[in-house]
Amino acid sequence: MIQISQDDYNKILSHAWAGLPNEACGLIGGVVENDVKVVKEVYLLTNTDESNEHFSMDPKEQLAAIKDMRAKGYVQFGNWHSHPESPSRPSEEDKRLAYDSSARYLILSLMEPGNPVLNAFIIKDRTEVSKEEISIV
């Protein structure tokens, strides 16, 4: 299970809305407590692709985020990105680019403006997708 605070969820949501019509992206880090991945930091990164169908994280921002996580003693859980016009599930491109089977991939759908949907996924062998429970507290 992944646990994220309402404030961090709101940060992701705000960054995703601000990035429209493109996908927004970032990293998540935190600590593991009793098998729960507790998100302690959400990193808001630039989508250098400037596309509404895919994203690439700015490498300098990504490195700075990883250094910050290490300095704080956090574990990098994975990344998050938005889907401006599609459901909260991994696209074929998301699966193709999922190189780390231990990472969690959070996808925020903005397809229905009044009903954003955030889900977490594990992607193994770039084909096998399973959902992980996510709790917003």
Domains, in order of start, for the chain: 2-136 (3.40.140.10)
pLDDT at residue 98, as a whole number: 86
132 neighbors 121 (Cβ within 8 angstroms): yes
32 neighbors 68 (Cβ within 8 angstroms): no
The answer to which of 23-27, 34-38, 50-54, 117-121 has the lowest mean pLDDT is 50-54
Beta bridge partners of residue 55, listed in sequence order: none
Average pLDDT of span 107-111 = 96
